[in-house]
Chain A
């Protein structure tokens, strides 16, 4: 099963993104806590792209495709903004965040804790980030 969303690059669209993911995940057996974690992780990546790669330009957009398989869920996030290599990005230490009174930097840490696998690739046209969550086999 595949679900696809064209998301315009405004922060006010994040609520719409959450509803879309929640709707797609409602077909799964995942607990409310697990569903919330996946919604959060995808939102963190999208918010990052909207703010840092697209400067909140409401005319640009990113694509989210959700592939629901029995063994795994794959969230594919595609955009054509400035490439942000999520794999090479080094998350800050929590202590440094507190000491420096930083408000950002925790998002991708959450993504890494929540997802089982993160892939990133870029070519001249698109950046593609794949967030993969394995489902427990019964």
Chain B
């Protein structure tokens, strides 16, 4: 099960993921990121505190937008991943390619200080 909430705060969007992302629902994550990118927002946060599991289908969604973020100058930061989920990013070295922070404060700081 996956539920996704998108909220606006200051100049950024927060996409909160709740549950498990796998091949059955990664398209929902894809649609939300696409929607976020279709607006004029330049800063996107992903709240991963309640993300319990992610498979390659979910990782692939994030990876497929890295070029778009770069081209559109969008700052994209994930925060709050539990150690199991963080480990999955780490196995492929994706934690070196995607900005990942421990807390919401650190994540927001990196968005606004950049």
Contacts and interface: CB of A to CB of B under 8 A. Distances in A.
Interface of A: 11-12, 14-15, 18, 32-33, 36-37, 40, 43-44, 47, 50-51, 94, 97-99, 101-107, 109-110, 113-114
Nearest to A113: B91
Given A44-B55, A47-B23, A103 B84 contact: no
B74 to A, nearest CB: 14
Nearest to B85: A36
Interface residues of B, number: 29
B1 interface: yes
* Majority secondary structure, A binding face: helix
B75 interface: no
B95 to A, nearest CB: 12
B66 A98 contact: yes
Contact of B60 (A33, A37, A104, A114): A104
22 contacts: A11-B22, A11-B24, A12-B24, A14-B23, A14-B24, A14-B55, A15-B1, A32-B83, A36-B87, A37-B91, A40-B88, A43-B22, A47-B23, A94-B92, A99-B67, A101-B67, A102-B60, A103-B26, A106-B60, A107-B55, A110-B91, A113-B91
Interface in B1-45: 1, 20, 22-24, 26, 30
Nearest to A103: B60
B61 interface: yes
A97 B63 contact: yes
Interface in B67-110: 67-68, 83-84, 87-88, 91-94, 97
B60 A110 contact: no
